[in-house]
């Protein structure tokens, strides 16, 4: 099943796969991002520029926006991007935050990329192949929120994905927050995916993030999953100063 068909099934009430909608998990993620960014000296402003690659309709984007951050999300599937846009039309963040009546401006580009810009000027959604270069994003992000994106990719796709992320993060300052699946050693799905089993060593392979990032910290289990034998674990990486 391709990603478009997968998202159609999810949005129609089918198998949610590894989608997590509990707002507490988004608060945990933003808390770790803010803590790591302050340690790295890039949070002199309370607002961070955050990239969410392969975001689907992850509620983190709306949550981070309500907390004053600038957010850019990228996903190839139009239905997922539409579902994310719809989150901004209702108060769904538990604190009465909504889009304040702002609309979305649509830009269609050659090659099929569609860019949606929120009227607030602080949220941009790309309907685009994550592996296709977007020059305007290079070197602009303080932080990356990667929830299972790395772990969703087949091994042969990871190097190009990591190369794109490295190009978009501020050298010497930007941080990467990665949530990944840790599967029990004797579990039946440890070597299958997506989502794939991911550890520090997988992230830091030279062909993956190891070429442009340094490892900062392992965060252990972030929150409980309902999938037997699988834990949601976190890692913090920092972009090296070198290109």
**Residue 114 has what pLDDT?**
97
- The two beta strands, 104-108 and 114-118, are antiparallel
**Residue 96 has what pLDDT?**
40
Other C-beta atoms lying within 10 Å of the C-beta of residue 38? 11
- The two beta strands, 104-108 and 70-75, are unpaired
Q: Is 90 exceeded by the pLDDT of residue 39?
A: no
Which one, of 110, 209, 227, 226, lies nearest residue 153 by Cα?
209
Q: Which of 38-52, 175-189, 202-216 has the lowest mean pLDDT?
A: 38-52
Which one, of 139, 134, 16, lies nearest residue 80 by Cα?
16
pTM (whole model) above 0.75: yes
**Residue 38 has what pLDDT?**
82
Query: For residue range 147-206, what is the model confidence (pLDDT) as tens digits?
Result: 999 999 999 999 999 999 999 999 998 999 999 999 998 877 788 888 999 999 999 999
Confidence of residue 20 (pLDDT cuts 50, 70, 90): confident
Find out whether 12 and 142 touch, Cβ atoms under 8 Å: no
Euclidean distance between CA atoms 97 and 21, whole angstroms? 17
Query: For residue range 75-132, what is the model confidence (pLDDT) as tens digits?
Result: 999 999 999 999 997 544 444 444 555 689 999 998 899 999 999 999 999 999 999 9
Q: Is 60 exceeded by the pLDDT of residue 40?
A: no
Which one, of 21, 3, 17, 32, lies nearest residue 177 by Cα?
32
Mean pLDDT score of the chain = 87
> How large a percentage of the chain has pLDDT more than 70?
83
**Residue 93 has what pLDDT?**
47
């Amino acid at each position: 099943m391709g990603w478009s068909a997968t998202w159609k099934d999810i949005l129609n009430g089918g198998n949610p796969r590894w989608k997590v909608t509990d707002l507490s998990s988004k608060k945990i993620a933003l808390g770790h991002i803010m803590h790591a960014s302050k340690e790295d000296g890039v949070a002199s402003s309370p607002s961070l520029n955050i990239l969410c690659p392969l975001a689907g309709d992850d509620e983190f984007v709306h949550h981070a926006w309500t907390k004053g951050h600038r957010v850019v999300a990228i996903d190839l599937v139009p239905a997922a991007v539409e579902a994310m846009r719809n989150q901004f039309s209702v108060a769904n963040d538990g604190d009465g935050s909504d889009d304040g009546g702002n609309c979305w401006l649509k830009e269609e580009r050659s090659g099929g990329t569609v860019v949606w810009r929120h009227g607030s000027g602080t949220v941009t959604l790309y309907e685009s192949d994550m592996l296709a270069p977007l020059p305007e994003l290079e070197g602009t992000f303080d932080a990356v929120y990667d929830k299972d994106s790395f772990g969703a990719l087949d091994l042969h796709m990871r190097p190009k994905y990591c190369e794109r992320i490295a190009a978009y993060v501020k050298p010497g300052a930007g941080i990467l927050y990665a949530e990944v699946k840790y599967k029990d050693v004797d579990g039946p799905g440890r070597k299958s995916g997506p989502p794939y089993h991911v550890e520090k060593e997988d992230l830091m392979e030279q062909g993956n993030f190891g070429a442009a990032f340094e490892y900062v910290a392992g965060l252990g289990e972030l929150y409980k999953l309902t999938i037997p034998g699988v834990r949601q674990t976190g890692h913090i990486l920092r972009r090296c100063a070198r290109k």
